[in-house]
């Protein structure tokens, strides 16, 4: 059976086809980055309108390039939340309409479950149970994962999400949207000169706090000569602090749960420094680390098709209501 996956929670229109036996067949992504960069960040109303323009043509292209017809599709999975309400509604309305027209089930998928399961699309997927660190633009979550749908929250960010902290710090250094990648590129030219705090690592617990790092970056920047090298050194110190903090918390989570497998996913897991430091730590602990391939770290339709498939085989489908939840705690899954 083929499952169509639709992702429209933020600034990327993603579609994919997953097959029960053959795995991922095809996926396409349209990024709105160029459109939003003019405004220095995502403009929700423009995001929704662009999803409306792009989604149906993208689905048509996906089917054509996969040599499939609509009758081949057995279910439609779509991101129902969390995310921007208008953007989510586009995906939800299109998915439900197609499901009704094609008389197949629709499956509402939690965006972060999509990220969490993205490494399952790789050649050596992790076995359950494992610890997952989900680091995206809207969330920072440490979760003990016992199986699909069995998620125990171990820790989360009490303020800014990791990606949000990257983006805000990038902005105050004058970098253009989307800042996360630009900040990490700048950090590559930086030197070890400033020492930023490792927030909430000096006390027990697995929660995070990143907003102080952003302020630390701002005051360091204001006190400097504000040259390009100063910016690069601040970017370096910021990234180093974020990576180190994640290493400390993940090690703690693995020790606390006794689990040796660590899954790291979400947009920020594309960061090379963070990947490298977490890999070194996990190996030192005698564990194994898993990431999605780079293009599936950030938002995509493939992870939604896969998560939808997992929901489908566990017997979950939905009625015909258009279901979209901008806020949706994973604990309610
Ligand atoms: O998962 P994602 O695509 O969307 C959300 O679900 O939020 O994550 C986007 C976030 C953005 O904040 C972006 O700046 C950050 O991931 N990001 C990065 C990198 N690539 C994307 N942050 C740091 N380093 C990167 N290489
Ligand atoms: Zn995401």
> Any long-range contacts for 179-184 (C-beta under 8 Å, 24+ apart)?
180/137, 180/267, 180/268, 180/271, 181/270, 183/235, 183/238, 183/239, 184/235, 184/239, 184/271, 184/272, 184/273
- Ligand 1 in reach of 136 Cβ (< 6 A): yes
**Does 208 lie in the same domain as 304?**
no
Residue nearest to atom 1 of ligand 1 (CA): 267
**Does 313 lie in the same domain as 247?**
no
Question: What residues pair up with 151 in beta bridges, in sequence order?
Answer: 145
**Does 100 lie in the same domain as 11?**
yes
Q: How far apart are CA 113 and CA 314, in angstroms?
A: 14
- 158 alpha carbon to ligand 1 midpoint, in Å? 18
- Ligand 1 in reach of 7 Cβ (< 6 A): no
Q: Are 115 and 296 in contact (CB under 8 A)?
A: no
DSSP 145-177: EEETTEEEEEEEBSSS-HHHHHHHHHHHTTPPS
H or E element at residue 134: strand 130-135
Q: How far apart are CA 240 and CA 258, in angstroms?
A: 26
CATH number at residue 229: 3.30.420.40
**Does 163 lie in the same domain as 82?**
no
**Does 316 lie in the same domain as 274?**
no
**Does 180 lie in the same domain as 57?**
no
- 299 alpha carbon to ligand 2 midpoint, in Å? 5
Both tokens of 123, joined, read 């050649």
Average pLDDT over residues 245-252: 98
**Does 260 lie in the same domain as 192?**
yes
**Does 137 lie in the same domain as 59?**
no
Query: How many domains does the chain fold into?
Result: 2
Whether pLDDT at 71 is above 90: yes
**DSSP annotation of 192:** S
Q: How far apart are CA 28 and CA 173, in angstroms?
A: 33
Q: How far apart are CA 203 and CA 240, in angstroms?
A: 20
**Does 173 lie in the same domain as 300?**
no
Question: What distances in angstroms separate CA 235 from CA 173, 199, 264, one per listed residue?
Answer: 8, 17, 22
- Domain assignment present for 122: no
**Does 223 lie in the same domain as 153?**
yes
Map residue 327 onto helix, strand or coil. coil
Domain holding 212, by residue range, is 128-291
From the CB of residue 109, how many other CB atoms can be counted at a distance below 10 Å?
Answer: 30
Ligand 1 probe mutation, 40, 109, 157, 163, most atoms within 8 A of CB: 163
Residue nearest to atom 14 of ligand 1 (CA): 180
Please identify which residue in the block is written with the tokens 């190996």: 283
- pLDDT of res. 319: 84
- Domain assignment present for 123: no
DSSP 15-51: EEEEETTTEEEEEEEEE-HHHHHTTTS--HHHHHHHH
Please identify which residue in the block is written with the tokens 């974020």: 242
- Domain assignment present for 136: yes
- pLDDT of res. 316: 87
Half-sphere exposure of 308 (CA within 13 A, CB side): 34
257 confidence band (pLDDT: 50, 70, 90): very high
Q: Which parts of the chain fold into alpha helices (H)?
A: 33-37, 44-65, 85-102, 111-117, 162-172, 179-187, 211-223, 228-257, 272-284, 302-313
pLDDT in tens, 93-124: 999 999 999 999 999 999 999 999 999 999 99
Average pLDDT over residues 80-92: 98
Q: How far apart are CA 274 and CA 128, in angstroms?
A: 23
**Does 150 lie in the same domain as 286?**
yes
Closest CA to 73 of 51, 54, 99: 99
pLDDT in tens, 169-224: 999 999 998 899 999 999 999 999 999 999 999 999 999 999 999 999 999 999 99
H or E element at residue 13: strand 12-19
- Domain assignment present for 166: yes
- Domain assignment present for 175: yes
- Nearest atom in ligand 1 to the alpha carbon of residue 167 is 14
- pLDDT of res. 321: 87
190 vs 331: which has the higher pLDDT: 190
- Domain assignment present for 28: yes
- Domain assignment present for 121: no
**Does 166 lie in the same domain as 57?**
no
- pLDDT of res. 149: 95
- Ligand 1 in reach of 113 Cβ (< 6 A): no
Q: Are 121 and 296 in contact (CB under 8 A)?
A: yes
- Domain assignment present for 90: yes
Q: Torsion over CA of 266, 271, 274 and 275, rounded to 10 degrees?
A: 80
- 296 alpha carbon to ligand 2 midpoint, in Å? 10
- Ligand 1 in reach of 299 Cβ (< 6 A): yes
């Amino acid at each position: 059976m083929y499952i169509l996956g639709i992702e429209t929670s933020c600034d990327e229109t993603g579609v994919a086809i997953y097959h029960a036996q053959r795995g991922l067949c095809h996926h396409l992504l349209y990024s709105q980055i160029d459109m939003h960069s003019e405004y220095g960040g995502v403009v929700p109303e423009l995001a929704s309108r662009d999803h409306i323009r792009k989604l149906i043509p993208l689905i048509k292209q996906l089917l054509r390039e996969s040599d499939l017809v609509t009758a081949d599709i057995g279910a439609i999975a779509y991101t129902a939340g969390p995310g921007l309400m208008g953007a989510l509604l586009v995906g939800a309305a299109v998915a439900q309409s197609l499901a009704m027209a094609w008389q197949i089930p629709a499956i509402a998928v939690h965006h972060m479950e999509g990220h969490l399961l993205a490494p399952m699309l790789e050649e050596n997927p992790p076995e359950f149970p494992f610890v997952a660190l989900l680091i995206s633009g809207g969330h920072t979550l440490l979760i003990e994962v016992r199986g699909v749908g069995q998620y125990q929250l171990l820790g989360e960010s009490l303020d800014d999400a990791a990606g949000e902290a990257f983006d805000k710090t990038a902005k105050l250094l004058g970098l253009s949207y989307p800042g996360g990648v630009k900040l990490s590129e700048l950090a590559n030219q930086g030197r070890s000169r400033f020492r930023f705090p490792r927030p909430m690592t000096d006390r027990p617990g697995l929660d995070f706090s990143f907003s102080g790092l952003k302020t630390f970056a701002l005051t360091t920047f204001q006190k400097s000569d504000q040259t390009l090298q100063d910016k690069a050194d601040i970017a370096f110190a910021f990234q180093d602090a974020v990576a180190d903090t994640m290493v400390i918390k993940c090690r703690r989570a693995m020790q606390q749960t006794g689990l040796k497998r660590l899954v790291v996913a979400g947009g920020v897991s594309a960061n090379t420094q963070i990947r490298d430091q977490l890999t070194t730590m996990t190996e030192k602990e005698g564990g194994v680390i898993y990431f999605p391939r780079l293009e599936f770290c950030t938002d995509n339709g493939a992870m939604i098709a896969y998560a939808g498939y997992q929901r489908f085989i566990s017997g979950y489908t939905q009625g015909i209501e258009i279901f979209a939840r901008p806020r949706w705690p994973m604990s309610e899954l």
